[in-house]
Amino acid sequence: MIRGSILAVGEVAGSVVSMASEQVQRFESVQMVRDGLRDLDYLADDGIAGVAYLADRLGKPVLVEGPAGTGKTQLAKSIAELTGARLVRLQCYEGLDESKALFEWNYKKQLLRIQADRGSDSWTELHDDIFSDEFLLTRPLLEAITADDPVVLLIDEVDRVEVETEALLLEILSDYQVSIPELGTIEAKQIPLVFLTSNNTRELSEALKRRCLYLHVDYPSMEREREIVLAKVPDITENLADQIARVVRSIRSMDLKKAPSVSETLDWARTLMLLNIETIDEEIAKETLHILLKYQTDIAKAAKELSVDE
């Protein structure tokens, strides 16, 4: 969908390479990835398709950085659809902890079990009983590596969590395993395709980056954005799609608090279609700027500086 660039960071762990080589490969070539994504209306270039191919072959997670709304999350969703895998999503936020990301114990069920066994003379037997799989509540990270079926794990907006929380991810991203004190180490039954997205709201740790392949997804070129609009908005004309791409490029060149994202471009295109607009003039563009821009200062600046070529 957008321009991407490949950068492999860190060395591939030997155990991961060995494990990956034993798995059935999902993609035969970079072109297969690109063609498959195009069939799903995700217009990937060789950079994006290449990273997805390498992630599969190397058994490495992918860190996808770039502005909000440029298709980072959609890439993981499209890869899941392309491979027929189940998407497991961890939506990151400030305050996310182990109980929401990895696992937690079902304390109510454990308490009921203790009450039912009050007559037991052996605490060791009771302890081993209540700290078993039966009482474990899996969260997205643990669910992804213990799944029997193919999985794409999406760790969305990882830059929103605190640095301390990043440490929860490191064992999974390097060795595809989770250490639980009461149960020991749980290793992955398969290597899932893992995508981490970041909007660059803060710098991620070197330890996290070292474990990933890197992909930067930026705003598309005008020609690529035109293709995206044609692919995503039913019945839109080539002329209108071209005008939309040109106006959006012009707006992005302004000094704004937040430039319009690709998703907002698509919202604008659908809005113009609903209004039966065939040609964009300055009046129409200015009246619908609130679809593209979400800050009043940006809207005022764009309305003042915008010029639409007839």
One digit per residue, the tens of pLDDT, for the chain of length 310 reads 434 443 333 333 334 444 444 566 899 999 999 999 999 999 998 999 999 999 999 999 999 999 988 999 999 999 999 999 999 999 999 988 888 888 888 778 778 777 766 665 555 555 566 777 777 788 999 999 889 899 999 999 999 998 888 888 888 888 888 888 778 888 888 889 999 999 988 899 999 999 999 999 999 999 999 999 999 999 999 999 999 999 999 999 999 999 999 999 999 999 999 999 999 999 999 999 999 999 999 999 999 988 765 4
Torsion sign, CA atoms 3, 53, 61, 210:
negative
Residue ranges per structural domain of the chain = 6-94+149-178+185-216, 222-305
* Phi, psi for 188 (deg, rounded to 5): -65, 140
Q: Which candidate, 167, 236, 155, 213, places its Cα nearest to that of 20?
A: 213
Diameter over CA atoms, the chain: 87
Residue found by looking up tokens 């072959």 in the block: 57
pLDDT at res. 6: 39
pLDDT at res. 23: 62
- What letter does residue 226 receive in the DSSP assignment? H
Among 3.40.50.800, 3.40.50.300, 3.40.630.30, 3.30.1490.70, name the CATH number for the domain at 6-94+149-178+185-216. Answer: 3.40.50.300
- Model confidence, pTM: 0.81
Cβ burial of 286 (10 Å; 0-12, 13-18, 19+) is middle
pLDDT at res. 4: 42
Report which residue type is found at 202.
R
Q: How far is it, in rounded angstroms, from Cα 163 to Cα 161? A: 7
Q: What residues does 185 pair with on adjacent strands?
A: 179
pLDDT at res. 204: 92
pLDDT at res. 206: 93
